[in-house]
Amino acid sequence: MSLADRLTAAWYQGHPALVLLRPLEWLYRRVVLSKRRAFLSGQGDIYRAPVPVVVVGNVTVGGTGKTPMILWLIEHCRARGLRVGVVSRGYGATPPQLPWRVRAEHAAEQAGDEPLLIVQRTDVPLVIDPQSIGGQRWEPKNYDGKFGGMMSMRQALIRSKNLVSIRILMAIGVNYAQEYIGHFGFGPKQHPAYLTMALGAGVVTPLQMAEGYSVFANGGYRVRSYLIDRIEDNQNRVLARTAPTVAGKNAEQAIDPRNAFIMTSMMKDVVRYGTATKAMTLGRMDLAGKTGTTNDARDAWFAGFNSSLVGIAWVGFDNNRSLGGGETGGGAALPIWIHYMAQALKGVPEVDTPVPAGIVERAGAGARGGVEYYYEEFQNTNPDLGLNNRSSDPQADENAAPATQGERPATPPAAPAQQPSPPPRDVVEKVKEQLF
């Protein structure tokens, strides 16, 4: 008999040593009863789901009935005409992305034994909860640890607010986003349709990144890179020549020119007021770009451009180890880009990109009192987004120093006037609603 079998037998048949657990039993009972009373009286932070929820824990000692109970509940509810979805903590699962919709064809090491069994038996929609997997919480947050409240996308980009990116992705839908990035040359296999896409969880090369940013730089056209211009023989006769795609001529219009203009305008503010202010040493006002730093400082990026040239700087190791504490895109990659652009743009005049037709300008509504741009048909906030203006940063406003993901602020932020309040419940929990 195995140790597990002996322990199970001792539990059900009784054993003198079990008396040693009575103090823990008494303590556990007191804690549970106290929490139950608080819940029934409406005290504390209580999550109220938008749909009826049945919580199934261990029926008795672990491994003796939880999964069969879930299977029975699924069929019981379905027999009464109810639509059923399951949210699992995904114990033992190692999915490549979060949240993870479990499919019947997935491997057990990805989905976990229990979630996979439930899906294979019932074909029920099942999602591994993004808040908890394998005992570890997924807690996306801003680099400064503060929730900055409602802000424009422009301010969010300048200040690299991760939660704003996640909320935008949730609003448009991950499947739509996965399809849309194809306009920039990125493939769906390298960028799975999960919320972590908002934080750059996909795989991309510097060349692919350059092609992607070129769509913004050239007014919305998709151009392809090429390495060989022509092939000549020993008598200088041209045997073959590349026919490149050229923006405004034979290249496809990948995005609306207004989209390209507004995004470029936002990234110009990143250079002027955000994490890329070092680039202002070049003395040009036509530069745009974005810094980037992955988890544990494994990669440091800067992608920058003007209307004639895109440059990508990446710093990292080929074995995916950390660059070390404190390394960021602004600190490691941006100086390389600046050194290159100082030579590449020498003598190149600045170009003031004209505002495309169909855009409305509002003076004073942009960053630092600048101009903000809107599509003619989209000048107001969608009331269905359900945004609020709560903030854990009392100093957060339009003129606050940028506090960014993976980057140091350009200037130290002002000290808070009071102890920050706890951030609100993370909006990522709403992924559970997708089941219904």
In a domain? residue 16: no
**Which run of H or E residues covers position 346?**
none
Whether 398 and 306 map to the same domain: the answer is yes
pLDDT tens digits, one per residue of 34-60: 888 888 887 766 667 778 889 888 766
Residues 130 and 184 in one domain: no
Strands 299-305 and 310-316: antiparallel
C-beta separation of 159 from 407 below 8 A: no
Q: How confident is the model at residue 218, as a pLDDT?
A: 95
Q: Of 138, 165, 191, which residue constitutes the final position of a domain?
A: 138
374 in a structural domain: yes
Per-residue pLDDT, 15: 81
Structure tokens that stand for 198 in this block: 């908002």
**Which of 24-38, 91-105, 238-252, 332-346 is predicted most confidently?**
332-346
Looking at 315-329, 383-397, 402-416, which range is the least confident one?
402-416
Residue 387 confidence (pLDDT) above 70: no
Is position 341 within any domain? yes
DSSP state of 118: H
Domain endpoint, select from 115, 138, 161: 138
H-helix or E-strand spanning residue 257: helix 257-273
Range of the domain at 330: 153-220+255-422
Q: Which of the residue ranges 101-110, 316-325, 383-392 would you say has the lowest mean pLDDT?
A: 383-392
Residue 277 and residue 348 share a domain: yes
208 and 134 inside one domain? no
Selected residue with higher pLDDT from 252 and 39: 252
Average pLDDT, the chain: 81
Give the DSSP letter string of 153-215. HHHHHHHT-HHHHHHHHHHH-HHHHHHHGGGGT--GGGS-SSGGGGGT-S---HHHHHHHHHH
Per-residue pLDDT band at 283 (split at 50, 70, 90): very high
- Model confidence at 325: pLDDT above 90: no
Residue 220 CA from chain centroid, whole number: 24
Sign of the dihedral through C-alpha 252, 256, 260, 263 = negative
Give, for 374, the enclosing helix (H) or strand (E): strand 372-375
For residue 414, what are its two tokens?
């002002």
196 and 71 fall within a common domain:
no
Q: Looking at residue 420, what is its pLDDT?
A: 37
Amino acid at 400: A
Side-chain-facing half-sphere of 100: CA atoms under 13 Å: 28
Write the secondary structure of 2-63 as one string of H (helix), E (strand) and C (coil): CHHHHHHHHHHHCCHHHHHHHHHHHHHHHHHHHHHHHHHCCCCCCCCCCCCCCCCCCCCCCC
- 3-state secondary structure at position 223: coil
Please check whether residue 345 lies inside any domain of the structure: yes
Lowest mean pLDDT among 98-107, 143-152, 191-200: 143-152
Asked if 157 and 283 sit in the same domain, the reply is yes
What is the rounded distance in angstroms from the CA atom of residue 276 to the CA atom of residue 104? 46
pLDDT at 433: 40
Percent with pLDDT over 90 in the chain: 44
pLDDT tens-digit readout, 399-414: 333 333 334 333 333 3
Confidence of residue 167 (pLDDT cuts 50, 70, 90): confident
Out of 106, 138, 170, a domain closes at 138
Total of domains in the chain: 2
Residues 208 and 117 in one domain: no
- Position 305, amino acid: F
- Residue 289 has φ and ψ, to the nearest 5°, of 170, 180
**Alpha helices (H) in 88-151, listed in sequence order:** 108-111, 113-122
Closest listed residue to residue 243, CA positions, set 227, 222, 223, 229: 229
Confidence band, pLDDT 50/70/90 cuts, at residue 160: confident
- pLDDT at site 201: 77
| Residues 399 and 324 reside in one and the same domain | yes
247 in a structural domain:
no
Same domain for 325 and 176, yes or no, is yes
- pLDDT score of 410: 38
Would you say residue 360 lies in a domain? yes
Give 211-248 pLDDT, tens digit per residue.
999 999 999 999 999 999 999 999 999 999 999 999 98
pLDDT at position 397 is 40
What is the CATH classification number for the domain harbouring 301?
A: 3.40.710.10
Do residues 171 and 294 share a domain?
Answer: yes
144 in any annotated domain: no
For 385, other C-beta atoms within 10 Å of its C-beta total 11
Checking if the pLDDT of 428 tops 70, the result is no
| 402 and 359 housed in the same domain | yes
Contacts of 213 (CB under 8 A, 6+ apart): 303, 305, 310, 312
Q: Is residue 20 part of a domain?
A: no
Reading phi first (left if > 0) and then psi (alpha if -120 to 50, else beta), residue 244 is in beta
- Which residues pair with residue 290 across a beta bridge? 303
pLDDT of residue 432: 35
Residue 418 predicted with pLDDT over 80: no
**Bridge partners for 303 per DSSP:** 290, 312
* Contact status, residue 302 vs residue 327, Cβ threshold 8 Å: no
- Same domain as 280, residue 133: no
